[in-house]
């Protein structure tokens, strides 16, 4: 069987889509699984045992270069590669016109789209209707996949090994000291948590004996501190995944590293406010979500620290009081 998973972005959403590929692999061990994805997100997709190939849609690069013959050629090559694969099943997990078009051009024998958000995406592919009310994205994706065959709806993750990235990350950190990581930004103003309040969370964790490293993308900017490690904009996505995976606890607002932490089994405290955690929270039994139905920055840092320490105790990590 040849299967196509279409989820271009974003990083956290791609992580939440991994169980679809796992469910296909478990049901049909010799399936040829292809994932259509943007290059900036591809590091979260495991290719040794889970996904056989990736078709890259470099939308950000194409936009930067403008409408040139070389860009048109690359776009056509990406769509043609999907078309030539002759997929048996295909699923669009993003529901935008850009991903709907990719699935429609690929033309699998059986296809379905989840959460189409615009008129074109609703026209191009059959929709997976959900009449069960608000449902976590992970569960809704798997429910949609089950329309294509006898696939499990029990979510499981297979994530890339980060062993090759660990030495470079460890070289930036103090040896033999427990690590708490904090992602300082989400890329969306309405989701962001106040950096000055993240600094108060960091100070509290340092007093608990943890080293604290700030994570983020280029241009995010970490709070100034002499007792924390600033890794913002200094790591690749794969290295960021390694930093999260080696953490004893991770703190973040509604952003991709929270989902990465959940996928690697790392305790995660998430600060919500702009989005519905019933749908978008990190899918983890080791997670705490703080949602006061306000802007995330209105959440007191003391509440985040309290949640983090309780979570650590639940997972066998001693803390002082």
Q: Are residues 207 and 73 in the same domain?
A: no
Question: Do 102 and 218 belong together in one domain?
Answer: no
CA distances to 3, 153, 205, 210 from 175, in Å: 44, 41, 17, 11
pLDDT at 120: 92
pLDDT of res. 224: 79
- Do residue 137 and residue 170 come from a single domain? no
- Domain enclosing residue 17, as ranges: 2-148
**Statement to judge: residues 141 and 274 lie in one domain:** no
Q: For residue 141, give Cα distances in angstroms to 94, 95, 165, 248.
A: 10, 11, 30, 29
Check the CA dihedral 213-214-218-223 and report its sign: negative
CA 169 – CA 100 distance, rounded (Å) = 38
pLDDT at 321: 53
Residues 233, 140, single domain; the answer is no
Total domains in the fold of the chain: 2
Spans of the chain below 50 pLDDT? none
pLDDT for the residue 131? 63
Is the domain of 10 the same as that of 140?
yes
Determine, yes or no, domain membership for 157. no
Question: In this structure, are 213 and 114 located in the same domain?
Answer: no
Other residues' Cβ atoms within 10 Å of the Cβ of residue 291: 18
Question: Does the bond joining 10 to the residue before it have cis omega, within 30 degrees of 0?
Answer: yes
Position 317 scores a pLDDT of 78
What is the rounded distance in angstroms from the CA atom of residue 230 to the CA atom of residue 202? 12
177 & 138 share domain? no
């Amino acid at each position: 069987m040849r299967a196509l998973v279409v989820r271009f972005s974003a990083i956290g959403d791609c992580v939440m889509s991994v169980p679809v590929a796992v469910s296909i692999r478990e049901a049909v061990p010799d399936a040829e699984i292809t994932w259509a994805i943007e290059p900036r997100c591809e590091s979260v997709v495991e290719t040794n045992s889970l996904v056989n190939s990736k078709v890259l849609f470099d939308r950000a690069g194409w936009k930067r270069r403008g409408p040139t013959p070389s860009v048109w050629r690359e776009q056509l090559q990406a769509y043609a590669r999907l078309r030539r694969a002759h997929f048996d099943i295909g699923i669009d997990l993003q529901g935008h016109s850009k991903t709907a078009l990719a699935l429609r051009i690929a033309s699998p024998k059986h296809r379905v789209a989840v959460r189409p958000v615009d008129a074109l995406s609703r026209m191009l592919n059959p929709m997976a209707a959900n009449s069960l009310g608000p449902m976590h994205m992970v569960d809704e994706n798997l429910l949609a996949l089950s329309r294509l065959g006898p696939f499990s709806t029990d979510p499981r993750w297979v994530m890339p090994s980060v062993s090759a990235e660990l030495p470079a990350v460890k070289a930036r950190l103090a040896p033999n000291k427990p690590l708490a990581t904090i992602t300082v930004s989400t890329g969306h103003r309405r989701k962001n948590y106040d950096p000055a309040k993240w600094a108060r969370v960091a100070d509290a964790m340092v007093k608990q004996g943890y080293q604290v490293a700030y994570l983020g993308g280029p241009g995010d900017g970490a709070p100034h501190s002499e007792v924390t490690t600033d890794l913002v904009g200094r790591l690749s996505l794969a290295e960021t995944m390694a930093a999260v995976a080696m953490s004893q606890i991770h703190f973040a607002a509604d952003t991709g590293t929270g989902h990465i932490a959940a996928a690697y089994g790392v305790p995660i405290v998430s600060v919500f406010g702009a989005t519905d955690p019933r749908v978008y929270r990190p899918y983890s039994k080791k997670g705490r979500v703080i949602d006061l139905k306000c802007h995330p920055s209105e959440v007191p840092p003391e509440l985040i620290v309290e949640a983090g320490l309780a979570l650590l105790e639940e997972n066998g990590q001693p803390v002082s009081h």
